[in-house]
Chains A and B, each alone.
Chain A
Amino acid sequence: DSGVTQTPKHLITATGQRVTLRCSPRSGDLSVYWYQQSLDQGLQFLIQYYNGEERAKGNILERFSAQQFPDLHSELNLSSLELGDSALYFCASSVGSLASYNEQFFGPGTRLTVL
């Protein structure tokens, strides 16, 4: 158990809908990363937050957004869902030092199915 929790575990929804995925980082970790895992694209970095502020953006669609709250949990919002958004979404957290890389610990993921 990495100490990172994600809810829900599974999510089934329809095209055009909006969903929110939640992540609670390990105690003491300030950085949260979101990744998308799909069969064709593999594991891709979406976005990173550090202590409430957006720090880096990867291949995140404009229909997707995220935020990190004062208690450091994070939410990933996916809107106008398309069939191709079906994937596993992972959250990872790290201590988040700005001076050097720190190991990222991954949560168990949320499996999103868009019908």
Chain B
Amino acid sequence: QQQVKQSPQSLIVQKGGISIINCAYENTAFDYFPWYQQFPGKGPALLIAIRPDVSEKKEGRFTISFNKSAKQFSLHIMDSQPGDSATYFCAAVGSGYALNFGKGTSLLVTP
């Protein structure tokens, strides 16, 4: 069963807008939460990650917000650009170190 639930499945945002993707998990043993970006024909690449001892992490235009009590985390892409159009996956890692992925969000940023 899917251990990480991700929404929305697809997202269309205008250039300059904010893209928001949400994820939720149940397993409290997860202790590392990365986001991956995947372009067509390529493998996923790490975008940004957070540990549950912080509530927010920002890298450039990308921010992760983390709510430990609600077991939810989200990715915000500020000033979205057409080059950000890709599929985004949230993931969670526990003691086994394997990535448990959400089902992905296809983001299209229109000019």
A residues with a Cβ closer than 8 A to B are: 2, 4, 31, 33, 35, 42-45, 48, 55-56, 58, 90, 92, 94, 101-109
Alpha-carbon distance between A42 and B44 when the two chains are bound, in angstroms: 12
Minimum Cβ distance to chain B for residue A86 (Å): 16
Residue pair B42, A43 in contact (C-beta under 8 Å)? no
Which of A31, A33, A45, A107 is the most central at the interface, judged by chain B CB atoms within 10 Å of its CB? A45
* B29 proximal to A (CB < 8 A): no
Cβ contacts under 8 Å, A58 to chain B: 98
Minimum CB distance partner of A58 in chain B:
B98
Contact of A90 among B44, B46, B102 (CB under 8 A): B44
Interface-side segment among B13-21, B60-68, B70-78, B89-97:
B89-97
Interface size on B, residues (CB 8 A): 21
Residue pair B2, A43 in contact (C-beta under 8 Å)? no
B residues with a Cβ closer than 8 A to A are: 2, 32, 34, 41-46, 49, 89, 93, 96-104
Minimum Cβ distance to chain A for residue B44 (Å): 5
**Top-10 shortest CB links A-B:** A106-B43, A43-B101, A45-B98, A42-B103, A56-B96, A106-B44, A101-B32, A101-B97, A90-B43, A101-B93
Minimum Cβ distance to chain B for residue A58 (Å): 6
Contact of B89 among A2, A4, A43 (CB under 8 A): A43
Residue pair B43, A109 in contact (C-beta under 8 Å)? yes
Residue pair B46, A103 in contact (C-beta under 8 Å)? yes
Given A35-B99, A101-B97, answer yes or no on A42-B2 (Cβ-Cβ < 8 Å): yes
Residue pair B101, A42 in contact (C-beta under 8 Å)? yes
Residue pair A2, B43 in contact (C-beta under 8 Å)? yes
Residue pair A56, B97 in contact (C-beta under 8 Å)? yes
Alpha-carbon distance between A103 and B96 when the two chains are bound, in angstroms: 13
Alpha-carbon distance between A101 and B44 when the two chains are bound, in angstroms: 17
Given A48-B97, A58-B98, answer yes or no on A43-B104 (Cβ-Cβ < 8 Å): yes
Minimum CB distance partner of B97 in chain A:
A101
Given A2-B43, A35-B99, 15 new contacts (CB under 8 A)? A2-B45, A42-B89, A43-B89, A43-B99, A43-B101, A43-B104, A44-B101, A45-B99, A48-B96, A90-B44, A92-B99, A101-B32, A106-B43, A106-B44, A107-B43
